[in-house]
């Protein structure tokens, strides 16, 4: 068993090599025992799975562990991750879950799989996962097979909810292209679009854990080649692309690919007195713009972190640059790319001009996310050393206006900022830089990387 599968936001590893029958059964067992402790009258855990070739086998192992602990599994079959979250808020003919497990490898390569977990409608993450992992690694017992589950139709309930919520959309004369990337968005998308009479063309709709057409990660520009090609024909007004488990979205016009922080600006304009939470990688343009008519708060990266913060502050909305979008004004506060699609279509219905609104924003240059490989043992120490070094920066450094340490270090300069943070899920440092010009962003990148190198040498 490898402790590395127990990560900050979820459990993830390579099928059989790391996620084998023994460990997966124990994940089901120990999570069920934890749920019983937190919710003494707990009866059910709802379980769904994505398109990965090994997801059903993992579900059977997981069910054996849950049943062994004395709880029962509400089995929703193959669904997007947001449908799994949704199951926590719905009663299924008298059956309601007290926690959920989504079996998904998200946007990882095909050999990976994993589990996104909630308990009492809240993320199960951080120390909760690490503690459970320690207990599992100490346990040498064997759990018997018992993959009995109770089938529920969460997919149908979710589709009905979305259709009812957006039944007033009127998009006659418009047509949209959608790229499901052979993930699970296609399990629900077509039926919703048909019921709402929205004209559509869907790429790679069929779930296929081999991902034969492209990697299911819309934050990677190289995966958007096909949808951009369709948009270039002029036949479609907008394009939407999804990751493997449909909790992240990319929204594209013929001209632009709108990242999560820009979409946060657009959506917040239609929320009264919006309180918006962004992660540390979000553009300063997002924070400055929203603060002119609402309140924008910077917080840690990570979908679990943002879900907890949005509930703590009862915020309207939260966003990650990568396309995790969390609506809490008319929804449940979790990241749902399908729901976000129809909120975007709602803006299109209101004749919101995405391209013009984008062009009107202050012009800045932002680098993509730049990753630096380090070791699991050193990544947080490097950040601590960097914080110390920034207290007395070298002569070549640009003047520092502020340092934000909510997640790594975000150094604010006169004309932009630079971010260096330790990834919570992989052995790497994550960096991003932004300034009023590309040349200035390059300067911020160079000086921070130079300081980082000097730390590595010491």
Question: Model pTM?
Answer: 0.95
pLDDT band at 4 (very low <50, low <70, confident <90, very high): confident
Rounded average pLDDT over 366-388: 93
Q: What is the pLDDT of residue 426?
A: 82
419-424 own/partner pairs: CB under 8 Å, 24+ apart: 419/280, 419/281, 420/383, 420/386, 420/448, 420/452, 421/280, 421/301, 421/383, 422/374, 422/379, 422/380, 422/382, 422/383, 423/371, 423/379, 424/7, 424/8, 424/9, 424/301, 424/302
pLDDT band at 8 (very low <50, low <70, confident <90, very high): confident
Domains observed in the chain: 3-152 (3.40.120.10), 166-359 (3.40.120.10), 365-457 (3.30.310.50)
Summarised one tens digit per residue, pLDDT across range 40-74 is 899 999 999 999 999 999 999 999 999 999 999 99
Q: Match 């975000």 to its residue by tokens.
A: 410
- Residue 215 phi/psi, 5-degree rounding, is -65, 135
Whether 456 has a pLDDT exceeding 70, the answer reads no
Which DSSP category does 399 fall into?
Answer: P
Quote the CA–CA distance of 76 and 256 in Å, as a whole number. 36
Whether 2 has a pLDDT exceeding 80, the answer reads no
Summarised one tens digit per residue, pLDDT across range 213-252 is 999 999 999 999 999 999 999 999 999 999 999 999 999 9
Quote the CA–CA distance of 458 and 448 in Å, as a whole number. 16
Residues involved in catalysis: 12, 106, 324
> Residue 70 in 3-state DSSP?
coil
Count of Cβ atoms closer than 10 Å to residue 133 Cβ: 22
Quote the CA–CA distance of 193 and 187 in Å, as a whole number. 12
Summarised one tens digit per residue, pLDDT across range 191-215 is 999 999 999 999 999 999 999 999 9
């Amino acid at each position: 068993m490898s402790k590395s599968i127990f990560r900050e936001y979820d459990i993830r590893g390579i099928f059989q090599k790391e996620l084998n029958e023994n460990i997966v059964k124990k994940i089901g067992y120990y999570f069920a025992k934890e749920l019983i402790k937190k919710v003494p009258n707990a009866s059910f855990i709802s379980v769904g799975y994505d398109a990965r070739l090994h997801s059903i086998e993992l579900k059977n192992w997981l069910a054996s562990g849950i049943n062994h602990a004395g709880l029962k599994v509400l089995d929703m079959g193959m669904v997007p991750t947001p449908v799994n979250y949704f199951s926590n808020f719905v009663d299924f003919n008298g059956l309601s879950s007290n926690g959920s497990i989504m079996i998904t490898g998200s946007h990882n390569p095909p050999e990976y799989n994993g589990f996104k977990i909630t308990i009492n409608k809240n993320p199960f993450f951080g120390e909760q996962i690490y503690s459970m992992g320690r207990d599992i690694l100490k346990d040498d017992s064997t759990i018997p097979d018992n993959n009995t589950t109770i089938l529920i139709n969460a997919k149908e309930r979710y589709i009905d909810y979305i259709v009812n919520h957006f039944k007033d959309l009127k998009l006659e004369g418009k047509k949209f292209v959608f790229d499901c990337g052979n993930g699970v968005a296609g399990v629900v998308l077509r039926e919703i679009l048909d019921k709402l009479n929205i004209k559509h063309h869907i790429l790679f709709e069929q779930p296929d854990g081999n991902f034969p057409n492209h990697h299911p990660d819309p934050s990677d520009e190289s995966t958007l080649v096909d949808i951009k090609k369709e948009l270039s024909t002029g036949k479609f007004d907008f394009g939407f692309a999804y990751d493997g488990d449909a909790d992240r979205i990319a929204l594209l016009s013929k001209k632009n690919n709108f990242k999560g922080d820009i979409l946060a600006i657009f959506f917040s304009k239609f929320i009264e007195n919006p309180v918006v939470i962004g992660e540390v990688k979000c553009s300063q343009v997002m924070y400055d713009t929203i603060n002119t008519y609402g309140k924008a708060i910077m917080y840690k990266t990570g979908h679990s972190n943002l879900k907890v913060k949005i509930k703590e502050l009862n915020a309207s909305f939260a966003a990650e640059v990568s396309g995790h979008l969390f609506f809490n004004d008319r929804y449940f506060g979790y990241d749902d790319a399908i729901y976000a699609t129809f909120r975007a279509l709602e803006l299109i219905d209101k004749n919101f001009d995405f391209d013009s609104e984008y062009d009107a924003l202050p012009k800045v240059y932002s680098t993509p996310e730049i990753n630096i490989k380090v070791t699991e043992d050193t990544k947080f120490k490097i950040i601590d050393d960097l914080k110390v070094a920034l207290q007395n920066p070298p002569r070549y450094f640009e003047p520092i206006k502020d340092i934000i340490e909510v997640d790594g270090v975000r150094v604010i300069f006169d004309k932009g900022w630079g971010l260096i943070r330790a990834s919570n899920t992989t052995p790497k440092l994550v960096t991003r830089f932004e300034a009023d010009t590309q040349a200035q962003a390059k300067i911020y990148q160079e000086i921070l990387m130079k300081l980082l190198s000097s730390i590595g040498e010491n």
